[in-house]
Amino acid sequence: MNTLEQVCYDLVSPMVEDLESLSVKTLPSLDEKEIILMVYAKSEDIARLIGRQGSMASAIRHTMSVLSRSENKRISIKFESY
């Protein structure tokens, strides 16, 4: 796991009930200045991570964007359920 994956995993892991199903992967991007992170978990946990009207997802994305600025890259975080 690279640094951004590990930080994202550590950020979302307290919010999920089933840690066994949680995983964070980096996907390739056509833009070299963009990092795409996929967060996979069970559907109940994904609903919790997205939150009402996307408020939790927005907070997670904002927190991770602070870290990605140190590498001069833009980060996109997508949530997917099993």
Burial of 18 (0-12, 13-18, 19+ CB in 10 A): exposed
Half-sphere CA count of 17, side-chain side, radius 13 A: 7
User: What is the pLDDT of the chain when averaged over all its residues?
Assistant: 94
Q: What is the CATH number of domain 3-81?
A: 3.30.300.20
Q: What is the model's pLDDT at position 12?
A: 97
pLDDT, residue 82, reads: 83
pLDDT at 51 exceeding the cut of 80: yes
- Predicted structure pTM score: 0.92
The predicted pLDDT at position 61 comes to 96
Q: Which two tokens stand for residue 56?
A: 């939790």
